[in-house]
């Protein structure tokens, strides 16, 4: 399965009031492996930026002045995304901006041009109800290193989102999935096995092995200042009538 992790940075919060996209970052994953075939665009929004937004992403009007407008990269972006599941954190925000940009260049709405859209914010709210589920909060909860995130950046955030998504979707079957991925094969259905029908052999220890075990316990006794838990469990309990 081909999946694209996408993030945008914008001049503000409302495409309806004329705010525009200033950065798009895309990370490609194929069969749960990051491919390195990514896309990254800085865009001239054709309007002045909002000071609060600039404090968040650091993309000034001067920096963006010589960058291409969305119309110049629309075909390249949408050709890249075609046929993929696009994964976005708080998808309604980014899709709203993308729809507005696509409308300006006479193209169909974003959801009509991709295979599917998955919102990791909705996924996280189902998994962690009542908790903060921002990208930063998920990175901390799922132990994804985001120490390089001093400013918001579309490509950086898309990469962090990819790591978060992998951990969000790693369930009890992950070891089977990873084994199949390492071997380049397909995950197969595993039949349940009744382990109670198996007798595990218990080999007898030699005198040398018993002596080595006893010496190891003695060393532990000395180190902890008392009997090891192994000796305590081995002693018979005094039963009071």
Report, in this order, helix, strand and coil percent for the chain, each rounded to 5.
Answer: 45, 15, 40
CB 177 within 8 A of CB 27: no
| Cα separation of the two ends of the chain | 67
What angle, 0 to 180 degrees and rounded to 10, lies between the N-to-C axes of helices 154-168 and 120-127?
A: 40
Q: Please tell me the total number of residues recorded for the chain in this structure.
A: 241
CA proximity to 39, closest of 6, 17, 61: 6
> Which of 40, 57, 89, 152 is labelled catalytic?
152
Residues 6+ positions from 87 with CB-CB distance below 8 Å: 3, 4, 5, 6, 117, 118, 120, 161, 162, 165
Active site includes 40?
no
* Rounded Cα gap, residues 93 and 135, in angstroms: 14
CB 136 within 8 A of CB 164: no
The CA–CA distances, whole Å, from 49 to 16, 43, 64, 120, 150 equal 15, 12, 10, 28, 20
Rg of the chain in Å (alpha carbons):
28
Provide the annotated active-site residues.
152
């Amino acid at each position: 399965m081909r999946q694209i992790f996408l993030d945008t940075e914008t001049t503000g919060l409302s495409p309806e009031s004329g705010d525009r996209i200033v950065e798009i970052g895309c990370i490609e994953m194929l069969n749960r492996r990051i491919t390195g075939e990514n896309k990254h665009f800085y865009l001239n929004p054709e309007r002045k930026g909002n000071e609060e937004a600039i404090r968040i992403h650091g993309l000034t009007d001067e920096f963006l002045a010589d960058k291409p407008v969305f119309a110049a990269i629309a075909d390249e972006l949408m050709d890249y995304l075609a046929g993929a599941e696009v994964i976005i954190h708080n998808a309604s925000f980014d899709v709203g901006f993308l729809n507005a940009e696509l409308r300006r260049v006479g193209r169909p709405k974003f959801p009509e041009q991709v295979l599917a859209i998955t919102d990791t914010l909705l996924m996280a709210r189902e998994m962690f109800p009542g908790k903060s589920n921002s990208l930063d909060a998920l990175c901390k909860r799922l132990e994804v290193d985001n120490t390089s995130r001093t400013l918001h950046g579309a490509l950086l955030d898309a990469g962090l989102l990819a790591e978060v998504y992998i951990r969000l979707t790693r369930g009890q079957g992950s070891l089977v999935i990873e084994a199949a991925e390492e071997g380049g094969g397909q995950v197969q259905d595993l039949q349940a096995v009744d382990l109670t029908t198996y007798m595990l052999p218990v080999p007898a220890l030699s005198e040398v092995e018993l002596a080595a075990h006893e010496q190891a316990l003695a060393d532990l006794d000395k180190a902890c200042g008392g009997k090891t838990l192994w000796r305590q469990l081995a002693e018979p309990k005094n039963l009071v009538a």
